[in-house]
Structure 1
Amino acid sequence: MENKEFQLYDIVEMKKPHPCGENRWKIIRMGMDIRIKCEGCGHSVMLPRKKFGQKMKKVLEHQE
């Protein structure tokens, strides 16, 4: 299994796009759960860390 590196405020691409059509998400909270916010409509979703790791495709931009 591939280990995906991500940090707070990174922009990530998920395997399935959001219903608004956007596929860019910003990580806004990390802990046991990870909260991501859609860059298109601003909707936020909280996922368990394990499920987030399975659904994330790749990191598009790293926060510096």
Structure 2
Amino acid sequence: MAQTFYLGDVVQMKKQHPCGSYDWEIIRLGADIKIKCVGCGRIVMLPRVKFQKGIKKIIKSNVAQQEE
């Protein structure tokens, strides 16, 4: 069940950030994934496995922009 993620995707995580937001924007992909909190702008880097376990759903996908 490997999901495909793209730069600029906005995802909802299972755990709430201390600022109160659940939404994060993906700003770097690779073995580690860097995400930015939509609420406060804090940047966090997670291993891909931990990120995939913590994601709830994709809110906004950039798949159309990546395919062009």
- When normalised by structure 2's length, the TM-score is 0.86
Unaligned runs of 5+ in 2: none
Q: Percent identity?
A: 52
Structure 1: which 4+ aligned runs deviate by more than 3 Å? none
Larger radius of gyration: 2
| Higher helix proportion | 2
CA distance in 2, matches of 1:18, 1:32: 22
Mapped partners of 1:7, 1:59: distance in 2 = 10
Q: Which TM-score applies when normalising by structure 1?
A: 0.90
Write out per-residue CA displacement over residues 12-54 of structure 1, whole angstroms, 9 at most, x where no aligned residue. Answer: 0000110000111000000110000000100010000011000
Question: What secondary structure, in the 3-state scheme, does the structure 2 residue paired with 1:54 have?
Answer: helix
Aligned residues: 63
Supply the RMSD in Å over aligned alpha carbons.
Answer: 1.0
